[in-house]
Structure 1
Amino acid sequence: MRKPLQNLLPVLLPMAFLLLALMVLSLLFVTRPQATRHSVEANLPPVSVVVAQPRDLRIPVSVRGWVMPFQEQTLQAGSRGVVTYIAPNLVAGGGFRQGQLLVELSDRQLETELQFARADELKAEHTLRQTELESAGRHQAGTAGVLMAAAQQSAQLLEAAAHQHVVDLQTRQQQARIFAPFDGWVMVENVALGMQVQSGTPLARLFAESRVNIRVALLDEQLALLELPSTGSLPATPPSTARITWRDGSKRFHWQGNITGTEGRVDELTRQTLVNIRVNDPFAADPAQPQRPELHLGTLVEVELSGRLMPGLYEVPRAAIHNGSQLWIVNQRGRLERRSLTILYQGRHSIYVTQGIHPGERILLTQLSNAAEGLPVALVDLPQDQAEWTP
């Protein structure tokens, strides 16, 4: 009896293990966790946009220019002579005040001529008095009376001529004392003590400190954006203003100016027009900028000119432009659209557009390396005060 069971054991044992395995698998299947379905979202690139809105704008024109004298004068000798006095501040870079004695000359020959002229004047006055006394003491008629009247008239003419000669010499003597014509500074001095000069000899070059001139070169497209001083019969329009900036390391200092006009010609090589900007009181202190230095001649400065008012322009940041005159728009479906623009002017920070975009459209600001027509993007929420871009 045992022997048949022993013969069946190799068959029954695997079947028992198989049955146990099936029971375990059934239990695992019944107690398995339920799978939850999740929607898979595409990984869209996040982007920032700015809403396009047309505005009436004054386009700023940014250029550089040199500080030059607005009023310049050559100090000349008014007469001949030897330089006997020079003001201590009559040196390059020295400042002076209007009416200050700058140079004095001495002319011995002129002094001698003046002494002789005064003697001649006294002699002529004495002759005139004698003639008048003789005429008053004698009442002659006929030819004698005519001769006496002629002698008196001749004496009067001689006395007047002698007096005028003295006045002329005194004027020449006064011209030997040369005074400052205005408040200003010395650019160049060409005079030394003991130097012999003639009338008209240049002694120094001076410039007024009340204002300076800044000369800038503008292209035709820049010039068309500005208001220039009127030269015709039309009502005058206030000229464009200028903001002058000079950098000293990380510090910036500013002055205000106005366009005074152009030099009336276009350079044949550069095709640029020279424009002059006047800055008043360039050496005065500014309470709002206590550390602002004086605006010296020869300084290279940055100039931002305020353009005339242009209606209906779109101001677009330079970062949004690619290929020179194109940008990306994020449409209502959240996809990119390429737009070609009509550009009026390209400024330092902004591009000013007349056509190619419409009010309310969203301009892409983020730089995407894989930007393509129809690419879906995810908008980054911007604060309300950043809905419109500010340069």
Structure 2
Amino acid sequence: MRVKLLRWYLPFVLLALAYGGYIAISSGNAEALKTEQVEVPLTVKVSHLRSGDHNVVITSHGEVVPVEITQLSAQVSGEVISWHPSFVPGGVVKEGEILFSIESENYNAAVLQAEADLATAQASLIEEKAKAEVAKRQAKNVPSNQVTDLYLRKPQVLSAQAQVKSALASLKRAKRDLDNCRVVAPYDALVVERDIGVGQYITAGTHVAVLNNIESAEIHVPIAGFDSVFLPEDYSGVTAKVTQKGVVNIEREGIIKRDLGVIDSATRMTSLVINVDDPYALSSDMSPLKFGSYVEVNFIGKTLKHIYRLPQELVNNRQVWIVNEDNELEPRTVNVLRAEQEFMLINEGLKDNDRLVLTVPEYPQKGTQVQLSTFNDESKQ
């Protein structure tokens, strides 16, 4: 009988024990969850802000072009008898070097003829002056009313003097034509085009070559409207850094010379002219900056006062986050004056010693309690 009762009650006893264990375990988990729900403040990294003066860097781009391009022409006619080895497309010639020569025998003969004509005219002048002197002495014995300019041979002397001047002018033209048989480079030049060859007969005025002046180069860089307000008051003479980017960057120094004086009707931009001396580095060991190169130009503009310079990733929709006196997150709306590369220049909305949040939470909320991990007092943002 007892055995039957034990068999009957045993399942209920086991069920009661299991239920009691379940209640005990559940109570323990609840206590653990309550313990785990204790909030820990977010940890953020901040930087103390300090304003400072900032020199605006204006960046633009442009193409290197020659200051001067010459369409070279012959000034005399004749057969081309020789030309300089560097007088080829891509060749570089120095100022005063002979580019090519024209057969000059006829022009030498013209000089000799002009010298002979001058000698004849000078002899005639001497003769007329002597005759005028004789007439002057004889006039002392002649009634004064008979002494005229013609009697004193003044017209003959003037005519002889004019003949001398005419002969001198002819000699000067003949010598000039002889000199022009040797065509020289007007400046240090890059030969872009040559249209003649040895044995070719050319006439005066014939186009023979195109030369680019390589003593200096120009870069016309457009300045956008938002950059123009930051130009210095007097930008003429301001130094600019010129960079041609590539596998190896080429850097040169330029000088702002002027602006073009007009606003482009298509882009509504004005353009500055940057001058670079000796672009082909003929007198230095620098790398050449060739015509047609696309370069970046940087120069210093206005100096801005009391500016905060912040990384762009910290400014979102003109808003940054700071930690207030209660160690709570607080959004600040700022005025972005200008963007420079990866930085924003801010002039309003912040003050010195504000604690700027450098590690902004993914979903920041105003009033969120935070604790600070690092203070960076050296950041002049």
TM exceeding 0.5: yes
> Which residue, 24, 31, 55 being the options, matches 2:52?
55
Aligned to 1:321: 315
Aligned to 2:73: 76
Instruction: Map 1:2-13 onto structure 2 (within 5 A).
Output: none
Aligned to 2:380: 388
CA distance in 2, matches of 1:334, 1:162: 101
CA distance in 1, matches of 2:325, 2:36: 23
> Which residue, 352, 356, 359 being the options, matches 1:363?
356
Tell me by how many angstroms 1:268 deviates. Answer: 1.7
> Is 1:172 aligned to 2:177, yes or no?
yes
Aligned to 1:242: 240
Instruction: Map 1:124-139 onto structure 2 (within 5 A).
Output: 124-135=121-132, 139=137
Does structure 2 conserve the Cα–Cα contact (< 8 Å) formed by 1:96 and 1:180? yes
> Which residue, 231, 235, 257 being the options, matches 1:226?
231
CA distance in 1, matches of 2:371, 2:282: 53
Does structure 1 conserve the Cα–Cα contact (< 8 Å) formed by 2:308 and 2:380? no
Aligned to 2:368: 375
> Which residue, 294, 301, 304 being the options, matches 1:300?
294
Deviation digits for residues 203-228 of structure 1 (CA, Å, limit 9, x no counterpart)? 33333434322221111221221225
Deviation digits for residues 286-333 of structure 1 (CA, Å, limit 9, x no counterpart)? 99xx8x52111111122222111121222121111112x222222223
Aligned to 2:220: 215
Percent of pairs identical after alignment? Answer: 24
Aligned to 1:193: 198
Does structure 2 conserve the Cα–Cα contact (< 8 Å) formed by 1:131 and 1:152? yes
Aligned to 1:345: 338
CA distance in 2, matches of 1:285, 1:192: 27
| Aligned-partner residue type, residue 288 of structure 2 | E
Does structure 2 conserve the Cα–Cα contact (< 8 Å) formed by 1:228 and 1:240? no
Aligned to 2:28: none
Tell me by how many angstroms 1:157 deviates. Answer: 2.1
| Aligned-partner residue type, residue 244 of structure 1 | V
Tell me by how many angstroms 1:88 deviates. Answer: 1.2
| Aligned-partner residue type, residue 363 of structure 1 | L
CA distance in 2, matches of 1:240, 1:149: 66
Closer, same or farther: CA 269–131 of 1 in aligned 2, 3 Å: closer
Closer, same or farther: CA 67–357 of 1 in aligned 2, 3 Å: same
Does structure 2 conserve the Cα–Cα contact (< 8 Å) formed by 1:240 and 1:308? no
Closer, same or farther: CA 308–131 of 1 in aligned 2, 3 Å: same
Which SS does the other structure have where 1:128 is aligned?
helix
Tell me by how many angstroms 1:353 deviates. Answer: 1.5
CA distance in 1, matches of 2:365, 2:283: 53
Closer, same or farther: CA 73–164 of 1 in aligned 2, 3 Å: same
> Is 1:122 aligned to 2:119, yes or no?
yes
> Is 1:156 aligned to 2:161, yes or no?
yes
Which SS does the other structure have where 1:153 is aligned?
helix
Does structure 1 conserve the Cα–Cα contact (< 8 Å) formed by 2:72 and 2:210? yes
Does structure 2 conserve the Cα–Cα contact (< 8 Å) formed by 1:240 and 1:307? no
Closer, same or farther: CA 62–160 of 1 in aligned 2, 3 Å: closer
**Structure 1: stretches of 5+ with no match in the other structure:** 1-6, 12-34, 231-237
Deviation digits for residues 73-124 of structure 1 (CA, Å, limit 9, x no counterpart)? 4433333433333211122222222221123233666555444433432332
Tell me by how many angstroms 1:170 deviates. Answer: 1.2
Closer, same or farther: CA 151–225 of 1 in aligned 2, 3 Å: same
CA distance in 1, matches of 2:232, 2:260: 15
Tell me by how many angstroms 1:349 deviates. Answer: 1.8
Closer, same or farther: CA 182–91 of 1 in aligned 2, 3 Å: same
Tell me by how many angstroms 1:42 deviates. Answer: 3.3
| Aligned-partner residue type, residue 336 of structure 1 | L
Tell me by how many angstroms 1:345 deviates. Answer: 1.4
> Is 1:65 aligned to 2:62, yes or no?
yes
Aligned to 1:32: none
Does structure 1 conserve the Cα–Cα contact (< 8 Å) formed by 2:335 and 2:346? yes
Deviation digits for residues 234-284 of structure 1 (CA, Å, limit 9, x no counterpart)? xxxx654322222232x4342222221211111122111111112234344
Aligned to 2:277: 280
Closer, same or farther: CA 269–44 of 1 in aligned 2, 3 Å: farther
Which SS does the other structure have where 1:103 is aligned?
strand
Tell me by how many angstroms 1:359 deviates. Answer: 1.6
Closer, same or farther: CA 113–240 of 1 in aligned 2, 3 Å: closer
Tell me by how many angstroms 1:39 deviates. Answer: 9.4
| Aligned-partner residue type, residue 345 of structure 1 | R
Does structure 2 conserve the Cα–Cα contact (< 8 Å) formed by 1:117 and 1:166? yes
CA distance in 2, matches of 1:181, 1:41: 87
CA distance in 1, matches of 2:168, 2:283: 54
**Structure 2: stretches of 5+ with no match in the other structure:** 7-30
